[in-house]
Amino acid sequence: MKVPKISEAVVKRLPVYLRYLNNLKAMNVRTVSSQQLGEALDLNPAQIRKDLACFGEFGRKGIGYEVNYLVEKIKSILKLDQQINVLLVGAGNLGHAISNYNAYLKDNMKIIAVFDADPNKIGKKIANLTIQPLSELKETVKEKSIRIGIIAVPAEAAQSVADCLVDAGITGILNFAPTNLRMPEDVRVHDADVTMELHSLAYYL
Amino acid sequence: MKVPKISEAVVKRLPVYLRYLNNLKAMNVRTVSSQQLGEALDLNPAQIRKDLACFGEFGRKGIGYEVNYLVEKIKSILKLDQQINVLLVGAGNLGHAISNYNAYLKDNMKIIAVFDADPNKIGKKIANLTIQPLSELKETVKEKSIRIGIIAVPAEAAQSVADCLVDAGITGILNFAPTNLRMPEDVRVHDADVTMELHSLAYYL
C-alpha cells in the first residue's frame, strides 16, 4: 500500500483510534461512525474523517467505518502487521513498570530483551525476561532483529545508552529520561518525559 | 500577559525548549540563536522562531534570544510561575517511577500526595510521601489546592479513579493507564500510554 507522508499529529492519533477500535472489535461491533468515534475519544468527528481520509476512502456515508477493516488498515499503516521487537534498557522501577505494558502490547510488538548496567541485576528477571548486561546489547539486537529501544535509565546515563542503541543499529527510540538526546538524523526519538507532560498539561489549567 | 490560543503541537514543544533553556541557564549561557536551539533539539530553526513568535517579539536579529528572559516567558506561558500541586494515584512500580521524577520537577510543580486502593500500602512511603487511602482524596485536594492528577493504576481501575479526581475538582489528568477515559469537557486529559508511544514510533521505522 502506498502511504503519503502524514503529519506527526495524525500519527499520534492513529494508535488512539486503534486502541478503541480493538475494543469495539473484541465486543463484536461491526461498524462505527465518526460521530461515535468522536464522542468516545473526545475528538472532533470532522478531524477523525480527515485523518482517516489520508489513507484512502474507508468510510461509507450513512454506514460509517467497518471496524475490522479499519483495524487492519491502521495496523498496516503503523507497520504493526510486521513483527516489531523492542528492547528496554533500565531495570529499575520504571523499567519494571514499562515491562508490565507487555500485557497490553499486541499486534506483533513485544519487549523481548532487558538490559541494565548494574552487575547485581544481571541474570535476574522482570516480566519473564532475564536482565542482560549492556555488553550483550549489540549482539542481541542482531540475533533477535530488534528495531526499537526504550530508555528507562537516569538522565546522566541516557546519552551513552542511546549511543549504544544507535551503534547496534536501532533507529527508533522511546526516551523516558528527562534529557535531550543528540542523535543522527535517521534515528527517530520520541520523548516520554513525565516532567514535560506535566508542564504542557499546566498550560490548560 | 495576554496569550492567544495556541496549537497543541506548540504547547507540547514549549517544555522541550524550557528544559534545554534551563540547562543553558545553569551553564550561565546568556543568549541563544534559533539555529543553536534547532541543532540541539533536532527541530527546524524556522519552526522554533514561529513557535516563539506566538507570544511576542522575543528574539533580536544577530543576537538571538536572551536565555533568562525566554525561560521566564515560557514559564509564564505554561503557568509554571504559579504553584501547581500534583497528586498521584497508584503506588506500584509505575507510581514509584513517576514519583522519582519529582527530583526533576522544578518551577513550582511538585507531586505532593500519593494514593492507593490497596490497604497494605496505606501508611507506607514512596519518595518521602505517605501513601493515603482513596477515601482521603477529595479532602486532600481541597486542603492542599491540588490541580493535576496522575493516574498510574491498571486499565480496569482507571475510569473510576478518574471519576474520583473529577469529583474532587481536578481539571488536568495525566493518564498512564492504557485505556480511553470518558471525561467532562472541561477536564483536560493527556495520555502517556507506553503502548501508544510505541505504536506511533513504529510508523517511522
Strand ranges (E), chain A:
31-32, 65-66, 84-89, 109-116, 125-126, 129-133, 146-151, 172-175, 188-191
- Residue A1 clears pLDDT 50, i.e. is over it: no
The residues, any chain, with a CB within 8 Å of residue B9's CB and separated by 6 or more, are A8, A9
Length of chain B: 205
Question: Per the structure, how many domains does chain B have?
Answer: 2
Q: Nearest to residue B32, comparing CAs of B64, B68, B58, B56?
A: B64
CATH code, domain carrying A25: 1.10.10.10
- CB of B43 within 8 Å of any CB in chain A? no
- Residue B145 clears pLDDT 90, i.e. is over it: yes
Q: Hey, are the CB atoms on A200 and B182 less than 8 Å from each other?
A: no
The per-residue pLDDT of chain A, averaged, comes to 89
Q: Hey, are the CB atoms on B171 and A8 less than 8 Å from each other?
A: no
Both A99 and A63 in one domain: the answer is: no
Q: Hey, are the CB atoms on A194 and B98 less than 8 Å from each other?
A: yes
Both B33 and B119 in one domain: the answer is: no
Average pLDDT over residues A2-27: 83
Amino acid of residue B189: V
pLDDT at B127: 85
Among residues A77, A105, A128, the one where a domain terminates is: A77
Both A58 and A89 in one domain: the answer is: no
pLDDT at B1: 47
CATH code, domain carrying B186: 3.40.50.720
- CB of A170 within 8 Å of any CB in chain B? no
Average pLDDT over residues A26-35: 91
Instruction: Tally A–B CB contacts below 8 A.
Output: 189
- Residue A39 clears pLDDT 80, i.e. is over it: yes
Question: What does the alpha-carbon distance between residue B78 and residue A181 come to, in Å, rounded to a whole number?
Answer: 23
Among residues B19, B49, B77, the one where a domain terminates is: B77
Both A138 and A191 in one domain: the answer is: yes
Amino acid of residue B77: I
Average pLDDT over residues A91-114: 87
Average pLDDT over residues B109-121: 95
Both A191 and A92 in one domain: the answer is: yes
pLDDT at A170: 97
pLDDT at A130: 97
- CB of B186 within 8 Å of any CB in chain A? no
pLDDT at B58: 66
- Residue A140 clears pLDDT 50, i.e. is over it: yes
More confidently predicted of A112 and A57: A112
- Residue B171 clears pLDDT 80, i.e. is over it: yes
For B146, the grid coordinates are 491540588
Coil vs helix vs strand at B144: coil
Average pLDDT over residues B10-25: 89
Residue range of the domain that includes A27: 8-77
pLDDT at B62: 74
**pLDDT tens digits for B172-191?**
999 999 888 989 989 999 98
Neighbours of A200 (CB within 10 A): 22
**pLDDT tens digits for B68-103?**
989 998 998 888 888 899 999 999 989 999 998 887
Q: Nearest to residue A79, comparing CAs of A156, A15, A127?
A: A15
Helix axes B93-100, A93-100, angle to 10 degrees: 130
pLDDT at B55: 67
- Residue A2 clears pLDDT 60, i.e. is over it: no
Can you say whether residue B126 is alpha, beta or left, with left for phi > 0 and alpha for psi between -120 and 50 degrees? beta
Asked if A200 and B11 count as a contact pair (C-beta separation under 8 A), the reply is: yes
Average pLDDT over residues A94-100: 91
Position A108 in a domain: yes
Percent of the residues in chain A that have a pLDDT greater than 90, as a whole number:
49
Coil vs helix vs strand at A122: coil
Q: Hey, are the CB atoms on B204 and A172 less than 8 Å from each other?
A: yes
- Residue A133 clears pLDDT 80, i.e. is over it: yes
The residues, any chain, with a CB within 8 Å of residue A77's CB and separated by 6 or more, are A1, A3, A14, A55, B203
